[in-house]
Amino acid sequence: MSAVGSEGRVQPARPGDPARIGPYRIIGRLGAGGMGTVHAGLAPDGLRVAVKVIHPAHSGDPEFLARFRREVRLSTRVQGPCLIPLLAADPEADAPWLATEYAPGPTLGAHLAAHGPLTGGTLYAFATGTAQALAAVHAAGVVHRDVKPQNIILTPAGPRVLDFGIAHAADGTSVTRTGVMTGTPGWISPEHYRTGAAGTEGDVFAWGALVAHAATGRLPFGSGAPDVVAFRVLSGEPDLDGVPGELRTILERALAKDPADRPAAEAAARACAPLLAAQATQILPEGDPAPEPARIAELLADQWELPARDDPDWHAPSRARRRRVLAAVLVTAAVAGGAAASFHAFPDERKDSSGGADRSITAGPATSPAAPARRTADGAPDGGADGGADGGADTGADGTADGKADGGAAGKPADPRTAAVPTDPLAGVARPAFTRADDLSQPTLDTWTASVAPATREEKDAAKAIRKHMTAMLATKDMAYMEPTVTFNERAQTVLVTGGPVNTLPDETRAVFGRAGRTAACVALARRLEAAPADWPYGRYHVHWKESADQTEAPFLGYGQAASGCYGEVAGEWRGSEEGLATAGHPSADRDEVRVAEATVEALRAAWDARVAEGHGLSPLDGPGSLDLGFDPVEDAVYLWVQDDSGGLGGRAQQSHLREVAETTVCRKLLAEQDGDRDWNYQRWSVVLYGGNNGLPDFIGSGSCALSADRS
C-alpha cells in the first residue's frame, strides 16, 4: 500500500472519505491498494502526511490485524537515512491506520516509465542511499521483505524506501500465513523460492535487482508468468547489460544465488559510496576508502538531480489539534547520514515568543509573570523553576533572594508560582559582570566548540536548574528522553544547551526542544543576573542539536539573552504565538492535562450555548470536532482553537463574545486546578480561530489568569 498516487499527486477525496483521521485533517487521496486507502493529510503544524487506512474487509480479520500491529511495532524501531519514519498509528481503531511523512515524487517504476533509466551521479546516489536505508533497517533487527520499485519514492531530496507491510523481525517468527509466498515475483530471492527463508540476504538480493532496474530500465529477470520469472531467478543470470562497470561488479555479488556470497547492506553501501564520491571529484584514487557517513549525506544531496514538484492541491495550515496517538519511537540510525551543520536561529528575534535576543519592543513592569514550580518527570515538584535551590547558592526554593515568602499569607509558605521572572534584571546596576546586554549579534559556532563543562559551584547549580526545568517541560509531551547537556563559554558570556545525538528527530519535535532550552536558560540566567549582577557573567544562551556523537558543528535551534525578558510579552501583556500553538498541538503525556482539557472543552461549549441562548445574534459552534484545547508547557499556556467553517465567528462582535467566554471559562478551570494542585503551572491562555480553507491561525485573544500570592 504505497504512499503515493499518480506521480505522488493529491487526488480528490471521494464520498464517504473521512474528514479527519486521528490528529490529521484529510484533504484528498494519494492512492489505494489491496490493503486499503492512502489519504493525504495535514498534521497540526502543517506537515504533509500519508495516512494509510486498512480496508474494512481486512480490519475484521484477526490474522491480518496481527500482522498490521506487528508492522506498527516494527516501524517504530526503524529510523535512518532514506527512510520514511512512522509518525503515529492506531491499530485498535475501528478502521486501523498509520501515518508517515509524505514523500513527494513518483515511484521508481513511474519515473522509469516516463523518463528512462537513472544515470551518472543520480544513479550512484540511488544505489548508495537505498543500500544505506536497508542497512538501517537491518541494524534495527528488521527484514524488509518487499523491496521493489513500487516501494521506492524518488523525492527531490533523494530516494526513500517505504512500506514495511510484510516486514518481520530478524529475531522472531513471521506472522504471514503458512504456505503463502510473500513478496513480489522478480524481487524474491532464490532461497525464498526454495525454502521460504526470508533474511537480510534476501533484501540485498532484491536491492541488487532494484539498482539494475534503475540503471537499465529493464527487469533483470525479465517479465512473464510468475513461475517463469521464478525459474530465471533460480537458474538464470540477471540482465546487467548497460550497468556501469564498477557498479555492475557490486550488483553481481548482491545477486549471487548463494546468500552467503552476498555482501551485507552496509557493505554494499560502503562499496557504492566511492562511486558516488567520484562523481563529485571526477577522480577515484586507487585504494581510496569510502567517504564518512556525513560526507555521503552531502554527496547524496549534491549529486541527486530530480526536480522538486509542487502540488497546488496541498494546503498547509498550521492548525493544531490534540489527540492521543501512538508516537513513533526514535532510535539512532545505524548508518548515520548526518547532514552538515546549518544555522537555524529563529527569524526576527524581536518577535520571539520565548525570550529572544531583543526585547526593546517590551515596555511593561520590571517583572514578568512567574515561571512556576513544575512537575518533574517523576511527578515531584521542581522547587522554583530554576529560581530555587538549583538556581543559585543564595536563592530559595520560591525564587526569592533569601528563600523567604514573597507575598504569601503570614504563617504560610509562599506559592513558588508567584515568584516573578525579572524582565530587566540589570536595571540600575552600574557595573554588571555581564557586559553584552546590548549585543544583538548572531552567535557563531566557535562559541559552542569552545564551551566547557561547568566548573564552579554556581555554574553547576545553573546547569542543574536548566536541565531540571527542561526535563519537566519536555516530560509533559513525552519528550523527557531528550536530555540536554549544558556547557559554558565565559569569554563569550554564554551558556550553551545541546541536545542529541539523534539525526532522525522530526523538525517539530526539535523545535519543542529548542523552545524549552531557550526558556529554561533565559529564566535561570535572568534570576542569576538579578541575584548577583556584579558577579554572574553569563547572560547569553544558545541552543543546539547534535545529529551524531562525533559532530563538531551542531546546528542552532535558537539563541538570545536574558537581560530583557523571557516570555512573549508586548507592552507588559502576554501574547500567544504560532510557536506556542505548535507546541500545544503535540499530544499531552500528562493525565491531569488530558482531564482538564476534556473538562474545559465541555464547559466552554456549554458556556457558548448559554451565550447563544441569550440572544446576541450568535450561532452555535460547528460540530463536535470544531473545538479543542492543548497545553504549551514552555510558557505555561493553554491554547484553545476553534474551527469555524460555517463563518459564524467571522465578525468582530462574535469574536469578542468568544474571547470573553473563553477567558472566563478557561481561567475558572485553571485557577480551580491551581487551588487543588500546587504543581499545576498553567496560568496563560490564548484563543485561535481557523476559518474557511486558508488554514491560517487568527489569534483573537490572549492573556494571563490572575494568580495571587495568597492562593497558597
Taking the domain 6-303, which CATH number applies? 1.10.510.10
pLDDT of residue 292: 57
- Whether 347 shows a pLDDT value over 90: the answer reads no
Half-sphere CA count of 256, side-chain side, radius 13 A: 12
Cβ-Cβ contacts under 8 Å for 607 (sequence gap 6 or more): 661, 664, 665
Residue 639's pLDDT is 94
Highest mean pLDDT among 453-467, 580-594, 603-617: 453-467
Confidence of residue 390 (pLDDT cuts 50, 70, 90): very low
Per-residue pLDDT averaged across 134-148, rounded? 87
pLDDT in tens, 202-221: 999 999 999 999 999 999 99
Cis ω for the linkage preceding 91 (within 30 of 0): no
Domain 591-711: CATH class, spelled out: alpha beta
| Amino acid letter for position 513 | F
Q: Which of 202-216, 482-496, 535-549, 679-693 has the lowest mean pLDDT?
A: 679-693
CA-nearest of 186, 185, 148, 180 to 164 is: 148
Residue 170's pLDDT is: 52
Q: Which pLDDT band, with edges at 50, 70 and 90, does 269 fall under?
A: very high
561: pLDDT strictly greater than 80: yes
Assign 678 to helix, strand or coil: coil
Query: 600 pLDDT exceeds 80?
Result: yes
239 is annotated as an active-site residue: no
Higher pLDDT, 354 or 54: 54
Angle of CA points 592, 594, 600, to nearest 5°:
100
What local confidence, expressed as pLDDT, does residue 404 receive?
34
For residues 542 and 556, the answer to whether their CB atoms sit within 8 Å is: yes
Question: How many CA atoms does the CB half-sphere of 347 hold within 13 Å?
Answer: 1
pLDDT in tens, 238-255: 999 999 999 999 999 999
For residue 488, pLDDT beyond 90: yes
Distances (CA, A) of 114 to 7, 72, 217: 10, 33, 11
Mean of per-residue pLDDT scores for the chain: 76
User: For residue 548, what pLDDT is reported?
Assistant: 81
DSSP run (H or E) holding 226: helix 226-235
E strand or H helix at 486 = strand 485-489
> 397: which DSSP letter?
T
Q: Which residue has the higher pLDDT, 291 or 406?
A: 291
H helices of 532-585, where? 578-584
Whole-angstrom distance, CA of residue 488 vs CA of residue 325:
38
* Confidence label for 525 from pLDDT (cuts 50, 70 and 90): very high
* Cell numbers that stand for 357 in this block: 535576543
Is pLDDT above 70 for 323? no
Greater pLDDT, 318 or 629: 629
**3-state secondary structure at position 253:** helix
Asked if residue 317 has pLDDT above 80, the reply is no
Say which of 45, 90, 146, 382 is annotated catalytic: 146
Q: What value does the mean pLDDT take over residues 60-78?
A: 79
Domain range annotation of the chain: 6-303, 349-574, 591-711
pLDDT band of residue 375 (cuts 50, 70, 90) is very low
Region of poorest pLDDT, from 451-455, 571-575, 601-605, 674-678: 571-575
Q: What is the pTM of this model?
A: 0.49
Contact 671, 662 (CB under 8 A): no
Percent of the chain with pLDDT over 90: 34
- Does residue 326 have a pLDDT over 50? no
User: What CA–CA distance (Å, rounded) separates 269 from 141?
Assistant: 18
pLDDT for residue 188: 87
Mean pLDDT score, 43-47: 85
663-687 confidence digits (pLDDT tens) = 999 999 999 998 888 888 899 999 9
Q: Alpha carbon 439 to chain centroid distance? A: 32
Per-residue pLDDT at 588: 87
Report which secondary-structure segment, H or E, holds 48.
Answer: strand 48-54
pLDDT of 344 higher than 90: no
What is the H or E stretch that residue 297 is in? helix 293-303
Q: What percent of the chain has pLDDT over 70?
A: 73
- Using DSSP's 3-state secondary structure scheme, residue 677 falls into coil
Name the pairing type of β-strands 485-489 and 494-499: antiparallel
Q: How far apart are CA 528 and CA 386, in angstroms?
A: 10
Burial class (CB in 10 A: 0-12, 13-18, 19+), 564: buried
Indicate the helix (H) or strand (E) that contains 601.
helix 591-613
Rounded CA separation 550/118 (Å): 34
- What's the pLDDT score for residue 497? 97
Task: Please give the sequence-ordered ranges of beta strands (E in DSSP) within 223-342, or none if there are none.
Answer: none
DSSP string, 451-468: -B---SHHHHHHHHHHHH
Close Cβ partners of 621 (under 8 Å, ≥ 6 residues apart): 605, 608, 627, 642, 644, 648
Mean pLDDT across the stretch 306-323?
A: 47
pLDDT band for position 615 (cuts 50, 70, 90): confident
**Quick one: average pLDDT of 171-198?**
63
Which comes out higher in pLDDT, residue 234 or 397? 234
Are 581 and 639 a contacting pair, CB within 8 Å?
yes
Q: Do the Cβ atoms of 589 and 476 come closer than 8 Å?
A: yes
State mean pLDDT over 24-38: 81
Give the residue, 432 or 416, on which the prediction is more confident: 432
Whether the predicted pLDDT of 455 surpasses 50: yes
Predicted confidence at residue 308, as pLDDT, reads 60
Q: Residue 702: which residues within 8 A CB-CB, separation 6 or more?
A: 573, 574, 575, 576, 684, 685, 686, 687
Which residues, 6+ apart, have CB-to-CB distance to 281 below 8 Å? none
Answer yes or no: is pLDDT of 452 > 80: yes
Question: Interior CA angle at 519 toward 515 and 522, to 5°?
Answer: 140
Q: Are 214 and 117 in contact (CB under 8 A)?
A: yes
pLDDT band at 531 (very low <50, low <70, confident <90, very high): very high
Q: Which pLDDT band, with edges at 50, 70 and 90, does 289 fall under?
A: low
Tell me if 619 sits within 8 A of 354, measured CB to CB: no
Residue 200 CA to residue 695 CA, distance in Å, equals: 44
The alpha carbon torsion through 504, 507, 513, 519 (nearest 10 deg) reads 160
Instruction: Compare 61 and 452 and report the one with higher pLDDT.
Output: 452
Angle of helix 265-281 relative to helix 293-303, nearest 10 degrees, comes to 60
